[in-house]
Amino acid sequence: MTVRTAILSDYAITPLAFGSEENLSAYLEGRSCLRRHVGTFGIQDPFYASLFDREQVEAEAVKAGIPENYSFFEKVAILAAGRAIEASGTDPASPRTAFIISSTKGNIERLDNCPGEAPLDVPAARIASFFGNPSTPVVVSVACISGLAALIHARRLLTSSTRYDRVVVCGAEAYCGFFVSGFQCLKALSANRCRPFCADRDGLNLGEAAACMVLGRSDDTQLAPWEIVCGAVRNDANHISGPSRTGEGSYNCLRAVLPHCEERPAFVSVHGTGTAYNDEMESVALSRAGLLDVPVCAMKSVFGHTMGAAGILESILSIKSLDKGLVLPTPGFTGGGVSYPVDASPVPRLADGNSFIKLLSGFGGCNAAALFRKGGAR
Amino acid sequence: MKLLGISRITPGLATVNDIQREVVPDGKGFLHSLYTSLKPDYPKFFKMDLHCKLGFLATELLLEGTEGRFEPREDRAVVAFTHNGCLQNDLEFNAGCKAENYFPSPALFVYTLPNIVTGEICIRNRYKGDSSCFVLPNPDREKIQECLECVFQDPVTTSALCTWVDYKSEEDYEAYAFLIENK
């Protein structure tokens, strides 16, 4: 019997809302926390970003009993994981529960005063031990695909052995001057709200988030209709900070995932960062995979680029929207910006189908795709 | 899983399957001398941060002289394990941001991700398969094996070129590269 990977619960925290459903509602209402920042993190050049209200998060952390000396990153991750764990009825202290954390820079805000806390395994250990988990958590850090790579790793962990019954996968990113200076010096940030796949797109927006899914083994699919059917990660072997012009790795991921589709996916939840190179590359990959007629949604003009959280956050929102029979809009989409026109829309559309593909790409030439399916009726 | 070979680099010593690799000092430090001895003729090496340099050199040591080495392939995963990751480079980039003349260097920023080493190894060897980066507190055998069991769940992946790289300072670093076959 094939072991299936069930999504037992999820919880997303963004500057827009606390909770997965709450984020979906805010999204559909057309809201966003992307705004112009001047002087934030001590950065003089203005930038557009979706950032947490620090005071609100701190207050929630106190309510949740998180020690004050924990980093901001650790606090948002614990807040998201705590709610998801609770909703799934998982015992986080069991040796049969594994923790996987995804992030690109974790505690980087501590680099100035406490560089010993910067390595990613340090916050991961603190997050897992907050919940009393006895095992060493694994950190999956693969640039922008981290969150999806972590979900794929979690699925493999559940199907390769019977060591674990539950896997808590939590992705988070919290910013500081380090990120903004870095992306500004790469000239990758837009001075306005980002415009994925549009002709006048000129860069990405940074976005903070924490998002968590609790996964279980096949028996649980009776309780939870959504499953991660399969996933693949492929490298472009082309350039460390630019995607392949032929969409090589992204296409190879899709090629690995597509044979597992039982139907045309309802949509592809694309990366759509709003940078010139990424969006063009994705259009090439989708074209090569024969998916140009499948609707796409890009969420970064709502949440910004949430880096290590993106794969989990955007998968959660995709699930929630398909539960309502909708393809999420790509706010501000006017099109005309890529060689192979993608089927995005500035307004919500009715979805046709019970599955979707999540697609991401990142620095280091990495790409990931995963197929999610609602299997309740099967 | 079967271990096909392992290389190791520490300050002043390079080994392949526990046999010392002769490194002729070129007067520019041990890692540069190792590069010169391996003769990869790969100028991109000089742009890399130390995490990538160590991962690159360890895999070069291990794969040196392998037949059909640069044929593009999708069946070999590249898996990086690390604790400190690119911390040294992060500190250097951060210093530029804090400097009086505010100079965040784009050349440094692109190396502030611990998975970049897998990209460098994939580019060098034309590997278009799975590539991953796992951060752990130490090179825990059991955890590494658990991660690799997961990597081999991809039906396309038949072997994995792995690294454990931990760079603390010029006097304190360690890099391993090992090749695992799924048998």
Residue in B119, B92, B117 with CA at minimum distance from that of residue A182: B92
Residue in A341, A298, A285 with CA at minimum distance from that of residue A204: A298
Question: Mean per-residue pLDDT for B134-157?
Answer: 97
Cα separation, A216 vs A230, whole angstroms: 14
pLDDT at residue A217 in the model: 87
- CATH 1.10.240.10 for the B2-181 domain, yes or no: no
Tokens in use for A24?
């979906």
Q: Is the pLDDT of residue B178 over 70?
A: yes
Tokens in use for B93?
């980039």
Q: What is the pLDDT of residues A65-104, one digit of tens each?
A: 999 999 999 999 999 999 999 999 999 999 999 999 999 9
Residue in B183, B170, B36, B48 with CA at minimum distance from that of residue B121: B48
Cβ-defined contact of A234 to B131 (cutoff 8 Å): yes
Residues β-bridged to residue A356: A267, A372
Question: Mean per-residue pLDDT for B107-131?
Answer: 98
Burial of B66 (0-12, 13-18, 19+ CB in 10 A): exposed
pLDDT at residue A225 in the model: 87
Question: Mean per-residue pLDDT for A141-159?
Answer: 97
Residue in B180, B179, B172 with CA at minimum distance from that of residue B54: B172
Tell me the torsion sign for CA atoms B56, B57, B58, B60.
Answer: positive
Query: Percent of chain A, pLDDT > 70?
Result: 97
B126: chain A residues, CB-CB within 8 Å? 237
Q: Is the pLDDT of residue A2 over 80?
A: no
Q: Where are the domains of chain B?
A: 2-181
Q: Kindly list the distances between the CA atom of residue B178 and the CA atoms of A135, B9, B61, B69, B140, in Å, as whole numbers in the listed order.
A: 25, 12, 10, 15, 15
Question: Mean per-residue pLDDT for B98-113?
Answer: 95
Tokens in use for A245?
């012009």
Q: Is the pLDDT of residue A377 over 60?
A: no
Q: What is the pLDDT of residues A107-131, one digit of tens each?
A: 999 999 999 999 999 999 999 999 9
Tokens in use for A247?
């969409």
Cα separation, B2 vs B145, whole angstroms: 11
Q: Is the pLDDT of residue A376 over 60?
A: no
Strands B131-135 and A138-140, how do they pair? Answer: antiparallel
Nearest CA in chain A to B72: A237
Torsion of CA A69, A73, A77, A82, to 10 degrees: 20
Cα separation, A9 vs B157, whole angstroms: 30
Q: Is the pLDDT of residue A332 over 80?
A: yes
Question: Mean per-residue pLDDT for B29-52?
Answer: 96
Q: Which of A222-231, A293-302, B24-33, B108-117 bottoms out in mean pLDDT, i.e. has the lowest?
A: A222-231
Average of per-residue pLDDT values in chain B? 97
Q: Where are the alpha helices (DSSP H) in B1-135?
A: 30-38, 50-63, 87-98, 106-109, 116-125
pLDDT at residue A378 in the model: 41
pLDDT at residue A86 in the model: 98
- How far out from the chain centre does Cα B175 lie? 7
pLDDT at residue B68 in the model: 87
Tokens in use for A105?
């820079």
All structural domains of chain A: 6-221 (3.40.47.10), 225-374 (3.40.47.10)
Q: Is the pLDDT of residue A220 over 80?
A: no
Tell me how long chain A is: 378
Which residue among B87, B97, B134 sits closest to A118, beta carbon to beta carbon? B87
pLDDT at residue B20 in the model: 97
Question: Mean per-residue pLDDT for A192-196?
Answer: 97
Phi-psi sector, A219: left (phi>0), alpha (psi -120 to 50), beta: alpha
Any B CB within 8 A of A181 CB: yes
Torsion of CA B139, B95, B43, B55, to 10 degrees: 0
Task: Please tell me whether the interface predicted TM-score (ipTM) of this complex is above 0.90.
Answer: yes
> What's the gap in Å between the CA of B97 and the closest CA on chain A?
7
Residue in A194, A193, A212, A192 with CA at minimum distance from that of residue A23: A212
Q: Are A350 and A329 in contact (CB under 8 A)?
A: no
Q: Is the pLDDT of residue A329 over 80?
A: yes
Cβ-defined contact of A364 to B143 (cutoff 8 Å): no
Q: Number of A:B CB contacts under 8 A? A: 166
B90: chain A residues, CB-CB within 8 Å? 108, 111, 118, 178
Q: What is the pLDDT of residues A205-214, one digit of tens each?
A: 999 999 999 9
Cα separation, A265 vs A286, whole angstroms: 13
Question: Mean per-residue pLDDT for B120-139?
Answer: 98
